Amino acid sequence: MKRLSNLWFVSIALVIATSTLGLSALAQEDITLNFTVWNYSLETIQDNIRIFEEQNPGIKVNLIDYAWPDYHDTIVLRFRSGTQTDIIYSGEDWLPEWASAGWLAPLEEIVPEVAQYKDKTASYAVNDMTFNGTLYGLSYYADLISFQFNANLLEENGIPVPQSWEDVRQAAESLQAAGIEKPFVYEYDQELPNFYSAFVAQVYGRGGQMFDGELNPVFNDPQSEAFKHLQWLQDMYADGLMALETHETKVVPAMNTGRHAFTVLFNYNLAALNNAATSALAGDFAMTPMPGDSHSTYGFAKFYAMTAEAAADPARREAAWKFIEFMGGGDYQVAKRWAIEKGLGFAQDPLFDDPDVQVAWSNWIDPADFKEQAQIAQNGTNTAFTGIWSAYFRPLLAKAIVGDASVQEVMDSGAEEWLSLRSQFLGY
């Protein structure tokens, strides 16, 4: 009887132990992370999630996507409504707003090991992912705005690759005399945030800035490079040297007609320009460092960020960090995949010299040119009110380019609005 009693207690102990282990495993499997993205290449994201889940049993990732034009406002609604959101695609232009509101977790403070990736990432991207001195994420995608040109067209007409904006003007005049009606084609749409970013990229190329270190506007000074460049754009349009198209998807086919030699676009458009399957002039196009004294340009980063909600729970925080590191860190296999399969830009330094990336990219760009430009790129001036101000300034910029307003009027109005917003948000 005593033996049976002992066996009974042993059995009960085993059942309890097994149940406890089962509950622990179940709890682990029950960690489901909500990952929100904009709806680009969802099949690739889903496959990356599949690989992560295979390597991390017990963590599931639920993908939620929104259209790009609706993304910012929808994410804000999710935050305000308390809808479970664990990891998101964030961006340089949203970080100050979302971090100030307490919606995003300061990743470097809660996961100090993320700092190891700083020295392996282009400086402009690190700056874009940093708020109040703290890194908030790891890069998903990073790119540059670059100066792109038809190398064959220049060679045929004996024109050297422009090094300054004065060179661009002279080359355009020479090409026009040779029968190219409007050698420079420009993306022109005041609704697009990149309409402003492209202007900043050109100012950076000249060696200029829009603001000083105290966030004072400097662009309304007639001696500033920003002022000079807006005047340059206005003159190019007025003199019939520049054509306008409303979107990059129209600029690319316009360049493919051979009627234009120069443009300024997100760098990934070179892949489309040099795609033999769709481009009649594939192989003719190249990039060169942005014209000007510094040859710098605008670089930006989109990144994986953890929400404050996810960070508040230790188990969810650990799972979210594993996912972020898998997607944006580690050996950079996910970023490498995006670069090779989709031609997406990147900020992870090791990938610049990765043989597989170089082979894939050499079909449409000289990887050394991209690396050189990335090393001297700068991020934008990101504040909680930059987006609001940009929406105000872009229509003014558009008016100035086509001559509906003077450069001085536009720049003064933009500076006045900036100072007003700075006072509202920062108190000075």
CATH number (domain holding residue 108)? 3.40.190.10
Mean pLDDT of 127-152: 97
- What are the Cα distances from residue 102, in Å, to 36, 137, 261, 311, 411? 18, 15, 47, 11, 34
Contact 410, 396 (CB under 8 A): yes
Q: Output the DSSP codes for 277-336.
A: TT-TTTTSEEEEPPSSSS---BEEEEEEEEBHHHHTSHHHHHHHHHHHHHHHSTT-HHHH
| Same domain for 412 and 330 | no
Amino acid 29: pLDDT: 54
What length does the chain have?
428
| Same domain for 291 and 309 | no
| Same domain for 304 and 293 | no
Position 102 in a domain? yes
- State the average pLDDT for the chain: 93
Amino acid 69: pLDDT: 84
Q: In the block, which residue shows the tokens 């709890």?
A: 27
| Same domain for 329 and 210 | no
| Same domain for 176 and 251 | yes
- Say yes or no to pLDDT of 26 above 60: no
- Say yes or no to pLDDT of 308 above 80: yes
| Same domain for 280 and 388 | yes
**Confidence band, pLDDT 50/70/90 cuts, at residue 395:** very high
Amino acid 6: pLDDT: 39
Contact 132, 365 (CB under 8 A): no
pLDDT tens track for 196-249: 999 999 999 999 999 999 999 999 999 999 999 999 999 999 999 999 999 999
Domain that holds residue 273: 144-299+374-426
Positive or negative, the CA dihedral 160, 162, 164, 170 is positive
Position 115 in a domain? yes
The Cα–Cα gap between 218 and 295 comes to: 20
| Same domain for 223 and 105 | no
Position 12 in a domain? no
Contacts of 140 (CB under 8 A, 6+ apart): 89, 301, 302, 303, 304, 327, 328, 335, 338
Position 126 in a domain? yes
Position 17 in a domain? no
Position 25 in a domain? no
Neighbours of 25 (CB within 10 A): 12
Number of domains in the chain: 2
Position 26 in a domain? no
| Same domain for 123 and 104 | yes
| Same domain for 282 and 314 | no
Contact 187, 148 (CB under 8 A): no
Contact 379, 124 (CB under 8 A): yes
Position 138 in a domain? yes
| Same domain for 136 and 154 | no
- 8-state DSSP, 121: B
Contacts of 262 (CB under 8 A, 6+ apart): 147, 148, 149, 150, 162, 168, 171, 172, 183, 184, 185
| Same domain for 269 and 247 | yes
Contact 371, 352 (CB under 8 A): yes
| Same domain for 417 and 276 | yes
Neighbours of 98 (CB within 10 A): 23
